[in-house]
Amino acid sequence: MAAQINTQKKKVGQNIKVVVRVRPFNEKESRGRSRMAVNCISPREIQTKDKKYCFDRVFQPDCNQLDIYSYVVEPMINDVLAGYNCTVFAYGPTGTGKTHTMTGGDPSSLSSLDWRRNEKAGCIPRVAANIFDEIASRKVNDYNVRVSFLELYNEEVRDLLNPDERQPPLNIFNDNKGAVFIQNLNEKNVFNSNDIYELLKQGTLRLDLAGSENIAKSGAKDKRALELANINRSLLILGRVVQSLTEKSNRHVPYRDSKLTRILQDSLGGHTKTCIIATVSPADSSYEVTQCTLEYAMRARDVKNTPMVNEKVTQVQMFKQLTTEIEELKRKLEA
39 binds, among Mg ion, ligand ADP, none (CB under 5 to 8 A by kind): none
Out of 57, 100, 206, 259, point to the residue binding ligand ADP (CB under 6 A): 100
Residue nearest ligand ADP by beta-carbon distance: 97
Q: Among 262, 246, 175, which Cα is nearest to 254's?
A: 262
Closest CB 59 distance from ligand ADP, rounded Å: 8
**DSSP β-bridge partners for residue 320:** none
Closest CB 281 distance from ligand ADP, rounded Å: 9
Strand segments, DSSP code E, in the chain are: 14-15, 17-22, 39-42, 45-47, 52-54, 57-59, 86-91, 145-147, 150-153, 156-159, 172-174, 180-182, 188-190, 273-280, 304-305
Residue nearest Mg ion by beta-carbon distance: 99
274 is in an annotated binding site: no
Out of 26, 47, 60, 314, point to the residue binding ligand ADP (CB under 6 A): 26
Q: Is 204 in the site for Mg ion (CB under 5 A)?
A: no
Residues in the chain: 335
293 is in an annotated binding site: no
Q: Is 122 in the site for ligand ADP (CB under 6 A)?
A: no
Query: Cα(58)–Cα(43) distance, rounded to whole angstroms?
Result: 5
Q: DSSP for 13-78, please give it.
A: -EEPEEEEEEPPP-HHHHHTT--BS-EEEETTEEE-SS-EEE-SEEE-TT--HHHHIIIIIHHHHH
Q: What strands lie across the sheet with 52-54, from one edge to the other?
A: 39-42, 45-47, 52-54
310 binds, among ligand ADP, Mg ion, none (CB under 5 to 8 A by kind): none
Query: Cα(232)–Cα(228) distance, rounded to whole angstroms?
Result: 6
95 is in an annotated binding site: yes
Q: Going residue by residue from 253 to 282, which x/- string records binding to ligand ADP, judged by CB under 6 A?
A: --------------------------x---
Q: Going residue by residue from 127 to 166, which x/- string records binding to ligand ADP, judged by CB under 6 A?
A: ----------------------------------------
Site for Mg ion in 89-148 (CB under 5 A): 98-99
> Which residues bind to ligand ADP, rule: CB under 6 A?
23-24, 26, 92, 94-100, 279
Residues belonging to the binding site for ATP are 92-99
> Which residues bind to Mg ion, rule: CB under 5 A?
98-99
